[in-house]
Amino acid sequence: MGKIELRAVRKAFEATEVIPDLDLDIEDGEFAVFVGPSGCGKSTLLRLIAGLEDVTSGRIDIDGRDMTRVAPAKRKLAMVFQSYALYPHMTVRRNIGFPLKMAGLDRAAIDRKVEDAARILNLTPYLERRPGELSGGQRQRVAIGRAIVREPAAFLFDEPLSNLDAALRVNMRLEISELHQKLGTTMVYVTHDQVEAMTMADKIVVLNAGRIEQVGSPIELYSRPANRFVAAFIGSPKMNLIDGREAERQGAAAIGVRPEHIRVSRDEGAWKGTVTVVEHLGSDTFLHVDVPGVTSINARTPGEYGIKPGEPVWLTPEEGRIHRFDREGRAL
């Protein structure tokens, strides 16, 4: 019930073009994540879908119907804002019930739906409180509650986790994913955090300067990035990108190898270098290695690896895991 199609959508604020011609399909029931660095137009794109911004040209279809000029309230979309945008003077019950009240439902129906939503989101004990008396995570859930009572065709999330602390963020990530499993409704999620994108998405849309760099499942983007930008953006820690002589030997302008695809050895390998920094995470050890003639390379070894800065080490990129890019940055 929630297929979203964008056709040749363009957005300009006066002279500055934020989004040049863009086409995108989001399938029904899909969890789509827009990801990109700040200022890449991902939030603008979400606001265009929501109807909070008008498109300069192009067409937006929701559920197969042209919604380009339709008011936000009539698009059957619900949005969760970065600041949660709860109404501070209303209790949780009235906050969640507000869209229903605006839709003209009677009190009994509103109460029933609000209580159902509260049960799903574990908010029942807090129904009579005001937003000011809730923690960040609870406010977040109220905002989601306000969205789900409307039974929208699709949910829009605008960086909903960026105001939470790290531990809570991981929790809420899981809760939103579970909610998606439970409801099966289309979700469009905007974030600058590639970890959120990788863990939650069915489909990731990588944006850069208003342009779509690549669309695909998390694993597709990880294993076959279309260009240097996506290669560097997806994956943590970042992919090692190497230009120069070493790349030319592989017949490319640049090559990229992810830290986890580099074998580390004390006595043999392709590149010899000196360890500069060692990061022990327990589960993994990251070595920052200065390889003469190549660059500084980050390599990951599983488990504990007993090596100290200043010691020599050999690195070998795994065959078939090397990404090659041409002069324009496109993958070969």
CA distance 182 to 99: 22
The angle subtended at Cα 39 by Cα 36 and Cα 42, nearest 5°, is: 50
Out of 93, 113, 150, 192, name the contact with another protein by CB under 8 A.
150
What contacts 159, CB < 8 A, 6 or more positions away?
43, 82, 190, 191, 192
- Residue 87 makes contact with another protein by CB under 8 A: yes
Name the minimum Å distance from CB 130 to another protein.
9
Residues forming a β-bridge with 33: 189, 204
- Residue 89 makes contact with another protein by CB under 8 A: yes
CA distance 148 to 310: 56
- Residue 13 makes contact with another protein by CB under 8 A: no
Out of 1, 12, 52, 195, name the contact with another protein by CB under 8 A.
52
Name the minimum Å distance from CB 61 to another protein.
19
Residues forming a β-bridge with 205: 34, 215
Q: Which stretch binds another protein (CB under 8 A): 58-66, 83-91, 293-301, 321-329?
A: 83-91
Out of 23, 69, 103, 125, name the contact with another protein by CB under 8 A.
103
Sign of CA dihedral 156, 159, 163, 167: positive
Q: 92-102 and 136-148 are packed helices; what angle lies between their axes, rounded to 10 degrees?
A: 20
- Smaller CB separation from another protein, 75 or 261: 75
Q: Are strands 203-208 and 312-317 parallel, antiparallel or unpaired?
A: unpaired
CA distance 277 to 289: 7
- Residue 109 makes contact with another protein by CB under 8 A: no
Interface with another protein (CB under 8 A), residue total: 23
- Residue 264 makes contact with another protein by CB under 8 A: no
Beta strands in 92-182 (DSSP E): 154-158
- Residue 77 makes contact with another protein by CB under 8 A: yes
Judge whether 154 and 2 are in contact, CB under 8 Å: yes
Out of 31, 34, 98, 155, name the contact with another protein by CB under 8 A.
98
Name the minimum Å distance from CB 52 to another protein.
5
Q: Which stretch binds another protein (CB under 8 A): 80-88, 117-125, 134-142, 220-228?
A: 80-88
- Residue 168 makes contact with another protein by CB under 8 A: no
- Smaller CB separation from another protein, 71 or 166: 71
- Smaller CB separation from another protein, 88 or 320: 88
- Residue 307 makes contact with another protein by CB under 8 A: no
- Residue 146 makes contact with another protein by CB under 8 A: yes
Q: Quick one: 55 exposed, middle or buried, by C-beta within 10 A (0-12, 13-18, 19+)?
A: buried
- Residue 83 makes contact with another protein by CB under 8 A: yes
- Residue 188 makes contact with another protein by CB under 8 A: no
Judge whether 288 and 255 are in contact, CB under 8 Å: no
- Residue 81 makes contact with another protein by CB under 8 A: yes
Q: Tell me the CA distances in angstroms from 49 to 136, 154, 177, 219, one per residue in order.
A: 27, 10, 21, 26
- Residue 86 makes contact with another protein by CB under 8 A: yes
Question: Where do contacts with another protein occur on this chain (CB under 8 A)?
Answer: 50-52, 72-73, 77-79, 81-83, 85-90, 98-99, 102-103, 146, 150
